[in-house]
Amino acid sequence: MSTKLNLPSMNGLRAFESAGRHLTFRAAAEELGVTQGAVAQQVRGLESDLGIRLFLRESRGLALTAQGRDYHAAVSRSLAQISSATERLLPSPSKVTISATPTFASKWLIPRLAEFTEQHSDIDLRVTATEKVLSFHTDGIDLAIRQGEPPPSAYHTTHLLFPQEIVAVCSPALFTDGPKRLTLGELANFPLLHDTHDLWPSFLEMLGGPTTSQIRGLRLSQTTLCIDAALAGQGVALASRFLVERDLNDGRLMQPVLETLKGEQNFYLLAPRHDHSVAAKTVSNWLKKHV
């Protein structure tokens, strides 16, 4: 057995709820995107259907009657509940979580997030910056970017994103007489910025330079800190070319030495072999497009 609901006009209720909050028909009309006259007409129609006065029309605006205040509180709660229930039914943006090394996240990914968001506004992209090896399932990770080729696995796929091509970089401001190329002997006169990868011995050896025991300079825990120190004119850093490409192109950094070192710690994209969402596949393809 069904019971017929005794409901007034929904448009009238919305107009009444908005006018009751603002206490002017003009503000309610702006909020609802209709004319002030339309709001007044809808409220009058609601009062006529109910057979009671909801507002007192005063010179300075509107005032709710005693019955109007009680009814407005109930209508506001009901409309809020309907709105909340409707939002829960609507599809939310697809969420994709990327785990990336701090240097990759800060120097490559974050500067390009605006481009991704513009192209894929329906995807809620989240970035976790860590060096730790995380579990796709346990940690809720959809994609991971790691340096160094991971061992073969039946649980994830591996795709080479960027080969490690190491270049020396520094700020042009490091040179008082203007930017120039440095010989091996001249390079030794500048502060060298070291990270945990400790690539300066191999780089200098490639140039015919000194042994490890002769190398001094500022030591930092992450490559991104070395790049930041180089940008600040603190010395010469080593970094993968793709991480500093924008800074080189924009003139914030320069290569004081043209030689490059081919490293073995390439950057790879990892993804679960199964349970790939459409959104994660979209992000994966976007990353691969920039290779």
Q: Which pLDDT tens digit goes with each residue over 26-37? A: 999 988 888 999
Whether 258 and 208 map to the same domain: the answer is yes
- H helices within 169-277, ranges in order? 184-187, 200-206, 223-231, 241-249
Please check whether residue 230 is in contact with residue 253, taking contact to mean a CB–CB distance below 8 angstroms.
yes
Of 197, 240, 204, the residue nearest 219 (C-alpha) = 197
Looking at the fold, whether 119 and 177 belong to one and the same domain comes out as no
* pLDDT of 219 above 60: yes
What are the phi and psi torsion angles at 18 (to 5°)? Answer: -70, -45
Residue 31 lies inside a defined structural domain of this protein? yes
Looking at the domain assignment, is residue 137 inside a domain? yes
The mean per-residue pLDDT over the stretch 62-76 comes to 94
pLDDT at 291 over 80: no
| pLDDT score for 31 | 87
**How much of the chain exceeds pLDDT 90, in percent?**
45
CATH number of the CATH domain containing 68: 1.10.10.10
What are the respective helix, strand and coil percentages of the chain, to the nearest 5?
Answer: 45, 20, 35
So what's the pLDDT on residue 210? Answer: 65
Per-residue tokens: 59: 């010179």
- Residue 135 falls inside a structural domain: yes
The answer on 249 and 172 residing in a single domain is yes
Same domain for 101 and 154, yes or no, is yes
Residues 60 and 84 in one domain: yes
**Widest pairwise Cα distance in the chain:** 97
Which residues face 225 on adjacent strands? none
- Chain segment 83-131, per-residue pLDDT in tens: 888 877 765 568 899 999 899 999 999 999 898 988 888 888 999 988 7
Q: Are residues 254 and 215 in the same domain?
A: yes
pTM over 0.75: no
Could you tell me if 221 and 277 lie in one domain? Answer: no
Cα distances (angstroms) measured from residue 205 to each of 198, 199, 261, 266? 13, 10, 10, 21
Do both 31 and 65 map to the same domain? yes
What is the overall mean pLDDT for the chain? 87
Q: Is position 215 within any domain?
A: yes
Of 35, 64, 89, which one is at a domain's C-terminal end?
89
Q: What percent of the chain has pLDDT over 70?
A: 93
The answer to whether residue 32 sits within a structural domain is yes
For the CA atoms of 180, 208, 259, 202, the dihedral, rounded to the nearest 10 degrees, stands at -120
pLDDT, greater one: 263 or 169: 169
> Which of helix, strand or coil describes residue 79?
helix
The CATH code of the domain that includes 156 is 3.40.190.10
Produce one character per residue of 63-92: b if its CB has 16 or more CB atoms within 10 Å, e if not: ebeeebeebbeebbeebeeeeeeeeeeeee
Domain-embedded: residue 129? yes
Q: Are residues 156 and 171 in the same domain?
A: no
- Asked if the structure places residue 5 within a domain, the reply is no
| DSSP β-bridge partners for residue 238 | 168
Q: Same domain, yes or no, for 271 and 147?
A: yes
If asked whether residues 15 and 150 sit together in one domain, one would say no
Q: CA angle 120-122-123, nearest 5°?
A: 75
| Distance separating alpha carbons of residues 45 and 14, to the nearest angstrom | 12
Last residue of a domain, one of 89, 107, 130: 89
Between the alpha carbon of residue 41 and those of residues 28, 36, 181, the distances in Å are 12, 9, 79
| Boundaries of domain holding 222 | 165-262
Does position 207 have pLDDT exceeding 80, yes or no?
A: yes
**Is 176 in the same domain as 258?**
yes
CB 94 within 8 A of CB 277: yes
Instruction: Report the number of distinct structural domains present in the chain.
Output: 3
Give 1's pLDDT tier (boundaries 50, 70, 90): very low
pLDDT per residue as tens digits for the range 237-260? 999 999 999 999 999 999 998 899
From 1-10, 61-70, 203-212, 221-230, the region with the lowest mean pLDDT: 1-10
Strands 61-64 and 55-58 come out as antiparallel
42: in domain: yes
